[in-house]
Amino acid sequence: MSLHIYDTSARAIREFVPVEAGRASIYLCGATVQAPPHVGHIRSGVNFDVLRRWLLRSGYDVTFCRNVTDIDDKIIRVAAEESVPWFTVAERNQRAFTWAYDTLGCLPPTVEPRATGHVPEMIVLMQRLIDRGHAYASGGDVYFDVVSYEDRYGTLSNQKLANMRAAADTDDESCKRDPRDFALWKGAKPGEPTWPTPWGLGRPGWHLECSAMATKYLGPTFDIHGGGLDLIFPHHENELAQSQAAGDGFSRYWMHNGLVKIGAEKMSKSLGNSLLIPEMVQKVRPVELRYYLAAPHYRSSIDYSEEALREAAAAYQRIEGFVTRAAEVIHDVDADAPLPQAFSDALDDDLGTPQALAVVHEVVREGNVALARGDKEAVARLLAETQNMLDVLGLDPRSAQWRSAKSDLKPVVDALVAVALEQRKAARARRDYEAADAIRDQLTAAGITVEDTPHGARWELSH
């Protein structure tokens, strides 16, 4: 089976056939950096990181472009409220997003362009649209003429132009030929940053930025455009319209991840229900938060709750426990071991992570049975399968990403704990179980969990 993905534009699952054999190009709408990231933002990063990892594992050479919108109405508004330059807000929050992506184990993008660095490309795109009769300059602004593209505008979001509301993206709608026309370029306003263009000073519109950056780095036609479900309209609809109206093929597949909600409401800064990443990784470890975000199907919504987060952490710990115990018996893992077919089939079927993780848990159960009966050959095979599956999902506890202070401290703590374990062993040998239990309790109080196994006592730092 080859990879099949749900294409929003086709409203159907389609076989993935790249523009160029053996290569895959992905554009992910990244952050608009007016505020630090919450889990709703970072879910998109995790979901498309899994897609990227699966494409890499499937043999593709992947170019992954994730943009940064570093100039926007909201950024300007926040800067004014704080009495700081707009770029201070953008830089601060971009760093917060980068930290969050890194903390949750997302591979760095191949390229991460900023909107403000691509004004020349935007000017060229606007001129192409004007020359083709799909855009016009008015009062220092430049607008996309939706009526000129009426037969195709709305195809991504499955809407008719007649049913659409005004774009409402400018203060003065009188400059527009039609209220539904959207701004490609916004003329200069006092106190706002500006860049020179043939139509006067101003700054770019949100939609124009992404079209210019996507085609610069991925070419006029590329494979996959991704982002949150809330971006389908107007952002992605407008990207598609202006790009194809200019003569580019643009994206062949559109993938949209579901939203994170609290109750019935989308998580957002404006609602005051944001769960920021630094706060979240105090509740659970980063790898457990990644598991929580990756476990549901990417197109489904997540209704956030503390209980669900704890359940996800516990589920990951069961996997981690097997990997840790098995690695003490098997020191060399076959990184080239084949993946279970059911796991591959699950990810090839529109990135089915729930089914893929079900396979992981089944292999872990088999692995625990093999450990209990001392079958080292079976343990070696099942550990290799487990780690290789987890690597695809970015969840391998033995990867460099997830080595915690526990592993860094292990050589030091080993020496200290060894004495206590020897004392406990001697107490058990002389049947002084009260003394043995007391030693174990002291270790537990110090944050060290002791487990008796057929191979002797083993320890680990408590989560």
Could you give the CA distance from residue 462 to residue 356 in angstroms, rounded to a whole number?
Answer: 28
Q: Longest Cα pair distance anywhere in the chain, in angstroms?
A: 93
Report the pLDDT value the prediction gives residue 457, as an integer from 0 to 100: 67
Could you read off the pLDDT of 262-311 as tens digits, one per residue?
A: 887 777 666 556 689 999 999 999 999 999 999 999 999 999 999 999 99
Task: Check whether 314 has a pLDDT greater than 60.
Answer: yes
Could you read off the pLDDT of 171-191 as tens digits, one per residue?
A: 888 899 999 999 999 999 998
Q: In which band, very low, low, confident or very high, does the pLDDT at 232 lie, cut at 50, 70 and 90?
A: very high
Q: How far are the Cα atoms of 122, 202, 401 from residue 214, in angstroms, in the given order?
A: 11, 22, 29
Going along the chain from its start, the domains and CATH numbers come out as 4-257 (3.40.50.620), 306-402 (1.20.120.640), 405-461 (no CATH)
β pairing state of 260-262 and 302-303: parallel
Could you read off the pLDDT of 54-99 as tens digits, one per residue?
A: 999 999 999 999 999 999 999 999 999 999 999 999 999 999 999 9
Task: Check whether 260 has a pLDDT greater than 90.
Answer: yes
Report the pLDDT value the prediction gives residue 441, as an integer from 0 to 100: 75
CB-CB contact of 442 with 420 (8 Å): yes
CB-CB contact of 346 with 352 (8 Å): yes
Q: How far are the Cα atoms of 286, 326, 364, 375 from residue 319, in angstroms, in the given order?
A: 15, 11, 6, 19
Nearest Cα residue to 137 out of 181, 171, 169: 181
Could you give the CA distance from residue 106 to residue 45 in angstroms, rounded to a whole number?
Answer: 7
What would the mean pLDDT of 333-358 be, rounded to a whole number?
96
What would the mean pLDDT of 23-37 be, rounded to a whole number?
96
Report the pLDDT value the prediction gives residue 303, as an integer from 0 to 100: 94
| Helix (H) or strand (E) run with residue 215 in it | helix 206-218
| Helix (H) or strand (E) run with residue 65 in it | strand 61-66
Could you read off the pLDDT of 410-434 as tens digits, one per residue?
A: 555 555 566 666 667 776 778 777 7
Task: Check whether 17 has a pLDDT greater than 80.
Answer: yes
Token pair 């855009």 in the structure block, residue: 135
The two three-digit tokens of residue 64, written as one number: 């992954």
Sort residue 37 into left (φ over 0), alpha (ψ -120 to 50) or beta.
Answer: beta
Please, how many CA atoms are within 13 Å of residue 409, restricted to the half-sphere of its CB? 12
- pTM value is 0.88
CB-CB contact of 457 with 451 (8 Å): yes
The 3-state DSSP class for residue 347 equals helix
Q: How far are the Cα atoms of 115, 128, 224 from residue 221, in angstroms, in the given order?
A: 20, 16, 10
Token pair 């996959």 in the structure block, residue: 224
Q: How many residues does the chain have?
A: 463
Report the pLDDT value the prediction gives residue 271, as an integer from 0 to 100: 58
Could you give the CA distance from residue 186 to residue 140 in angstroms, rounded to a whole number?
Answer: 7
